[in-house]
Amino acid sequence: MKNANKKTPGGETHQTTDDAHPYLTNNQGMHIADNQNSLKAGERGPVLLEDFILREKIFHFDHERIPERIVHARGSAAHGFFELYESLSDITRADIFQRAGEKTPLFTRFSTVAGGAGSVDTPRDVRGFAVKFYTKEGNWDLVGNNIPVFFIQDAIKFPDLVHAVKMEADRAYPQAGSAHDTFWDFVSLMPETSHMIMWAMSDRTIPRSLRTIEGFGVHTFRLVNAKGKSTFVKFHWKPKLGLQSTVWDEALKLQAADNDYHRRDLFEAIDSGNFPEWELGLQLFDQKTADNLPFDVLDPTKLIPEEVVPVRIVGRMVLDRNPDNFFAETEQVAYCPANIVPGIDFTNDPLLQGRLFSYLDTQKSRLGTANFHQIPINAPKCPFMNMQRDGMMQMQVPKGRANYEPNSLDMAGEEPGPRECPVTGFSSFRGRPEEEEQGDKLRIRPASFADHYSQARMFLHSQTENEQAHMASAMVFELSKVTLEHVQMKVLANFRNVSENFAARVAKGLGLPLPAKTPSAQPVQDFKPSPALSIQKNMKEMLKGRCVGILINDGSDAGIIDKLQKEIKKAGGSSKLVAPRLHGIVLSDKSKIKVDGQLAGTPSQLFDAVAIVLSEAGTAQLLNEGAAIQWAMDAFGHLKAIGFNKDARPLLDKAGVAADEGVVETGKQFITAAAKRFFQREPSVRKLA
């Protein structure tokens, strides 16, 4: 069929489809002849109820939205694979860990916690880090965060935590932020939140990119080998690009510059072939080690320092394909910590135990059916069959008479259906008889969970001085938004147990006196600092995976620009040209180019480092352009490397950019500088608590 033009009574012309494109149909497969006009009684008459094409289209549109996740609603995801480095058959019988070099498909979703699906990407917030492995034995979901601990110890407090951090019930704000009365009121009355609050106020919650965050399983799990031997495990994801964060002012301005900054960054990295990678690390330890630790490994507000139990790297995750459809995949993917495979098992962590119930329950609420596991993104890639039948949106067609088990239909020559298999099937870890749990039914916290401040102190003392200043400043900012003074005082009283100096810094920033210290249920211990907990101590100085913004104008030196872009690419980075207009920039060699971003809409906070390459005339023009002055000023204030040619120097002077080791002329020295952040510059650009 050839292309043909079709005129409607109103004179509009629409092109029919040809053999190169599929025909438009309704949901029953019927070809649709006109998708532009409703069926009417006469040219200007009423729309007819019999228009089933209209009814179907509007009906589906009316029901396109499903309830968003209560938490972790704002998410971005990608397909990829997990590749095992070495066999772990001595530790676990899980098939995914048996054969070195074998690849397992997966789907990973990153998310913010507090905001709704339409909120921004870059608020101060914990990031979810959930991985669905499609293993040969069924789906395994490792559902964690970019922080290794959590706010609470028992799942019964989870609704209270979420209600407190979400928008306040009577006014529905603030959105995607914890800086308000109800959250800090809850925190002030729950000392067990102290460790997590230190993480939440750190730069971990304002990451530069989803590609530069760590991931943690949070809880202590078990690995069980073929002989039934159990090994405790904590799961870690280590980014190949290293850790990297923003500074607070930068995070705020990113929200204005690009609401979808993290989502776009992840999508574009994969789309360009710069596939993000993480290595999977395991902290493995036995019961004896657990018993000798000065805290309880079942307490989800505690971590095991890597210096005490090293992280063993066992494989890598590569994200190499973007979703084909955001709703069908990213929005409908249903993670659940209860999705495990033989060889992986749970512990008695009371927060984990509650999550095992909650996730399954909420998927039914969101996706509307007990058959949500049949949605393609959720379906296992191995065979799955059981006696569960019917239900809303049943998408399979089970055969045979047997929908119960046991049955003896095979005796009559009929298909009896699937059977249990004690050999290959999942069996819960039992342990030795003396380890079996027994005792009275109690609603109580064990005494081993009662130390709420020691690890918070350890985390604080593990940071650089600059990071500690960021944490104190973040606390001042958050508490400055609290209108209830008794809440502010209670928080300060709690944090005197973490650090007298830290509490005093925050109190000074608020202009409040230090209150009496909250009594601690357990003596606060001084653990050795753990350098692994610091971002700045673990940043990798490299350009790989990072982007340099290059500000140009008419007359900019084409040779400098070309050489600079080649050097950036050679170092593993990428670059984007920014100018006062998108089209028709004329360089020094008279070539006319289109740039990647228009100056007013492409601020410097979108880049990891910047270069300014201008002619004398181009500089003079931009000296009266506020966006250009702000471009340089923000790059300097956000502690980034700034490269420049000599003719651009007046622009830097007007922006208040002072000379330091991060402000250099374009060339090899700039390429080296662009791989870093210059935190030593910070005292000269802002006052921290």
The residue out of 39, 64, 89 marking a domain boundary is 64
Q: Check which CATH number belongs to the domain holding 330 and give it.
A: 2.40.180.10
Q: Which residues are catalytic?
A: 72, 145
Sign of CA dihedral 133, 134, 137, 138: positive
| Closest C-alpha among 611, 602, 607 to residue 648 | 611
Residue position matching structure tokens 């019927």 = 30
What average pLDDT does this structure show over 213-230? 97
At residue 3, the pLDDT reads 42
Q: Which amino acid is at 33?
A: A
Give the confidence band of 433 by pLDDT, cuts at 50, 70, 90: low
* Cα distance between the two ends of the chain: 72
Q: What is the DSSP string of 355-396?
A: HHHHHHHHHHHHHSSTTGGGSTTTS-SS----S----TT--S
* DSSP class of 328: I
User: How far is C-alpha 500 from the chain's CA centre?
Assistant: 33
At residue 432, the pLDDT reads 64
Q: Is the pLDDT of residue 6 over 50?
A: no
Kindly state whether residues 223 and 347 are assigned to the same domain. yes
Number of domains in the chain: 3
At residue 429, the pLDDT reads 87
More confident: 52 or 235: 235
Q: Is the pLDDT of residue 479 over 60?
A: yes
Domain membership flag for residue 534:
no
| Closest C-alpha among 339, 276, 261, 290 to residue 94 | 339
Contact 55, 307 (CB under 8 A): no
Kindly state whether residues 616 and 656 are assigned to the same domain. yes
Sign of CA dihedral 68, 71, 74, 76: negative
Rounded-to-integer distance, Cα 642 and Cα 636, Å: 7
Instruction: Give pLDDT tens digits for 618-631.
Output: 999 999 999 999 99
Share of the chain above pLDDT 90, in %: 81
What average pLDDT does this structure show over 87-110? 98
Residue position matching structure tokens 């984990």 = 352
At residue 435, the pLDDT reads 59
Kindly state whether residues 627 and 674 are assigned to the same domain. yes
Tokens standing for 265?
A: 């960054």
Number of CB atoms found within 10 A of residue 645's CB: 20
Instruction: Return contacts of 561-569, CB within 8 angstroms, 24+ apart.
Output: 561/587, 561/613, 564/611, 564/613, 564/643, 564/666, 564/670, 567/667, 567/668, 567/671, 568/543, 568/671, 568/674
Kindly state whether residues 59 and 84 are assigned to the same domain. no
Instruction: Give pLDDT tens digits for 280-330.
Output: 999 999 999 999 999 999 999 999 999 999 999 999 999 999 999 999 999
Q: What stretches of 132-247 show up as alpha helix (H) in DSSP?
A: 158-165, 181-189, 194-200
Q: Check which CATH number belongs to the domain holding 626 and give it.
A: 3.40.50.880
Give the confidence band of 658 by pLDDT, cuts at 50, 70, 90: very high
Q: How much is the mean pLDDT over the chain?
A: 93
Domain membership flag for residue 89:
yes
- Sequence-separated (6 or more) residues with CB below 8 Å from residue 410: 416
Give the confidence band of 16 by pLDDT, cuts at 50, 70, 90: very low
Q: Is the pLDDT of residue 358 over 90?
A: no
At residue 385, the pLDDT reads 85
Domain membership flag for residue 179:
no
Kindly state whether residues 300 and 211 are assigned to the same domain. yes
| Closest C-alpha among 677, 538, 539 to residue 250 | 677
Kindly state whether residues 49 and 83 are assigned to the same domain. no
Domain membership flag for residue 51:
yes
At residue 227, the pLDDT reads 94
Kindly state whether residues 54 and 139 are assigned to the same domain. no
| Closest C-alpha among 452, 529, 540, 462 to residue 498 | 452
Give the confidence band of 7 by pLDDT, cuts at 50, 70, 90: very low
Lowest mean pLDDT among 90-99, 200-209, 211-220, 401-410: 401-410
Kindly state whether residues 279 and 330 are assigned to the same domain. yes
Kindly state whether residues 96 and 237 are assigned to the same domain. yes
Contact 526, 457 (CB under 8 A): yes
Give the confidence band of 434 by pLDDT, cuts at 50, 70, 90: low
At residue 387, the pLDDT reads 83
Domain membership flag for residue 485:
no
Give the confidence band of 18 by pLDDT, cuts at 50, 70, 90: low
Q: Is the pLDDT of residue 5 over 50?
A: no
Q: Which amino acid is at 146?
A: N
Instruction: Return contacts of 334-337, CB within 8 angstroms, 24+ apart.
Output: 334/359, 334/363, 334/366, 334/367, 334/372, 334/373, 334/375, 334/378, 335/109, 335/130, 335/132, 335/141, 335/143, 335/359, 336/141, 336/143, 336/360, 336/363, 337/141, 337/143, 337/219
At residue 389, the pLDDT reads 86
Q: How far is CA 474 from CA 19, 201, 282, in A?
A: 60, 6, 31
At residue 265, the pLDDT reads 97
Half-sphere exposure of 240 (CA within 13 A, CB side): 14
Q: Is the pLDDT of residue 198 over 80?
A: yes
Domain membership flag for residue 129:
yes
Q: Using DSSP, state whether 430 is helix, strand or coil.
A: coil
At residue 546, the pLDDT reads 96
Rounded-to-integer distance, Cα 417 and Cα 407, Å: 9
Kindly state whether residues 274 and 316 are assigned to the same domain. yes
At residue 525, the pLDDT reads 96
* DSSP class of 687: -
Domain membership flag for residue 173:
no
Contact 630, 652 (CB under 8 A): no
What average pLDDT does this structure show over 445-459? 96
What average pLDDT does this structure show over 586-605? 97
At residue 680, the pLDDT reads 95
Strands 597-598 and 574-579: parallel
Rounded-to-integer distance, Cα 671 and Cα 542, Å: 9
Contact 560, 546 (CB under 8 A): no
What average pLDDT does this structure show over 12-29? 69
Lowest mean pLDDT among 42-56, 124-138, 257-271, 516-530: 42-56
Kindly state whether residues 262 and 342 are assigned to the same domain. yes
Domain membership flag for residue 397:
no
Q: Which residue range forms the structural domain that includes residue 218? A: 75-147+207-374
Q: Is the pLDDT of residue 431 over 60?
A: yes
Contact 643, 612 (CB under 8 A): yes
The residue out of 336, 359, 374 marking a domain boundary is 374
Q: What is the DSSP string of 632-667?
A: HHHHHHTTB-EEE-GGGHHHHHHTT----TTEEESS
Q: Is the pLDDT of residue 441 over 80?
A: no
The residue out of 312, 342, 374 marking a domain boundary is 374
Q: Which amino acid is at 4?
A: A
Instruction: Give pLDDT tens digits for 511-549.
Output: 999 999 999 999 999 999 999 999 999 999 999 999 999
Lowest mean pLDDT among 99-108, 419-428, 499-508: 419-428
Kindly state whether residues 347 and 267 are assigned to the same domain. yes
More confident: 410 or 222: 222
* DSSP class of 215: E
Q: Is the pLDDT of residue 450 over 50?
A: yes
